[in-house]
Amino acid sequence: MIIVIKPNTPRDQIDAVIKEVEKLGYDPRPIFGTNQTIIAAIGDERTHHTLISLTAGFPQIEQVMPVQKRYKLVSHESRTQPTVIDVDGIKVGGGSFAMMAGPCSVESEEQLLTTARSVKAAGATILRGGAYKPRTSPYEFQGLGKEGLRLLQLAKKETGLKIITEVLSEFDVEHVAAAADILQIGARNTQNFRLLIECAKTGKPILLKRGLSERVEEWLLAAEYILSHGNPNVMLCERGIRTFETYTRNTLDLSAVAIAKKESHLPVIVDPSQGCGRADLVQVLCRGAVAMGADGLLIEVHPNPAEALSDGQQQVDFNGFNELVKSLQPYLEIAARKA
Ligand code: PEP
Ligand code: MN
């Protein structure tokens, strides 16, 4: 960190700051100017409350400027190679592109199995489907719960697709982890730190959605919770943020994909379905995601979107998904990503 001392501070007061910096475990390197002195303090800034203790206790300090990122394990500083997550044999990241598709909610055996067969035939390797649904209204369909997990298992057994499904609460972690290959942490829970820790402990791959109004730094710090609790298998997922725009449900923030790829070694997945809330835009947003460097997509597919129990307006049907996957191939080739 850089500590800027107020102009014309007497030498003994500068020395007092240097001593304090040393006491806090840093190596102080003062640069004495004619009027003003700055001190470069070398050491790990993330383990101390230095900033607060220095600015509060030393009025001769004008400014303390941290130079390190607050996230440590998720950043490129700690790992230069991209993280490649092994989802029970399916690789995600480092050039391996993951196509995850399926209904917003698991609704019935027929709905799930026909969708699983169809998305598999189109090229998906991971089946999505919510058994526990975070709905804005308590009167809306809340998901089939354990029955939904059973159906996901059934679909896995028949098709071999890996399963991603949401964990809504700490109370559900154990049984959801028993049925899922990837735990999805939803946008409404992304800063539910106790939940993040409990999910981390399962050791399962985790897809961490970006919160409804979450800054990229907060999103990366949420991922840091999981990594710092011993689970390195995190995929970040951009799913759109709240903005003033009304033509879309959310604004898919493709710049956040580029930033997350730049800041972190973790794979980044894009969910264009929640991202825009409109089936007619999903295909073109997938192309944008690939161009931004995304490592995979999470797409909502339903046999009959008009009759879906949740998110009908943004789910594509089987033909739509087929066409989407086909049309995406040239973009994947340009981006050198293997599906
Ligand atoms: C979903 O994937 O269906 C979902 C509820 O996502 P999000 O948490 O991004 O809203
Ligand atoms: Mn949904």
pLDDT digits (tens, 9 = 90+) for 302-339: 999 999 999 999 999 999 999 999 999 999 999 988 77
Cβ of 209 less than 6 Å from ligand 1: yes
pLDDT at residue 78, rounded to an integer? 87
**Ranges in the chain, pLDDT < 70:** 46-51
Atom of ligand 1 nearest to the CA of 128: 2
Distance in angstroms (rounded) separating the CA atoms of residues 135 and 28: 52
Residue 161 burial (CB count, 10 A):
24
Residues 51 and 103 in one domain: no
Same domain, 231 and 312: yes
- Tell which of 36, 65, 94 closes a domain: 65
Name the residue with the closest Cα to ligand 1, atom 8.
Answer: 186
Distances (CA, A) of 274 to 212, 279, 312: 10, 10, 11
105 and 178 co-located in one domain: yes
Q: Give pLDDT, residue 11.
A: 95
Bridge partner list, 100: 126, 298
Measured in angstroms, how far is the CA atom of residue 185 from the centroid of ligand 1?
A: 8
What is the model's pLDDT at position 322?
98
**Alpha-helix residue ranges (DSSP H) falling in the chain:** 11-23, 50-57, 109-122, 146-159, 173-179, 193-202, 216-228, 254-263, 272-276, 279-291, 318-334
Report which of 295, 280, 272, 311 is spatially closest to residue 103, judged by C-alpha positions. 311
**Cβ of 28 less than 6 Å from ligand 1:** no
Do 146 and 283 lie in one domain? The reply is yes
* Domain total of the chain: 2
Look at residue 29 and give its three-state secondary structure.
strand
Residues with CB under 5 A from ligand 2 (ion): 104, 311
pLDDT at 56: 81
Which of 196, 271, 276, 315 to mutate for ligand 1's pocket (most ligand atoms within 8 Å of CB)? 271
Is residue 222 in a domain?
yes
CATH of the domain at 324: 3.20.20.70
Identify whether 260 is part of a domain. Answer: yes
Domain co-membership, 32 together with 93: no
**Is there a single domain that holds both residue 194 and residue 325?**
yes
Q: Is 104 in the pocket of ligand 1 (CB under 6 A)?
A: yes
Q: Determine, yes or no, domain membership for 47.
A: yes
For residue 126, the cross-strand partners are 100, 162
The answer to whether position 244 is within a domain reads: yes
Any domain includes 80: no
Residues 139, 251 within the same domain: yes
Ligand nearest to the CA of 277: 2
User: Do 132 and 171 share a domain, yes or no?
Assistant: yes
pLDDT of residue 49: 65
Ligand 1: does its nearest atom lie under 6 Å from the Cβ of 239?
yes
47 and 179, same domain (yes or no): no
Number of Cβ within 10 Å of residue 67's Cβ equals 10
User: Is 72 a member of any domain?
Assistant: no
Same structural domain, 19 and 163: no
* Domain span holding position 247: 85-334
Residues 232, 306 within the same domain: yes
Q: Are residues 61 and 120 in the same domain?
A: no
Distance 310 CA to ligand 2 centre (A): 7
Query: 256 alpha carbon to ligand 1 midpoint, in Å?
Result: 17
Domain-located, residue 294: yes
Rounded to two decimals, what is the model's pTM? 0.91
The answer to whether position 188 is within a domain reads yes
Q: What is the CATH number of the domain that holds 59?
A: 3.30.70.1140
pLDDT at res. 278: 98
What pLDDT is attached to residue 68? 82
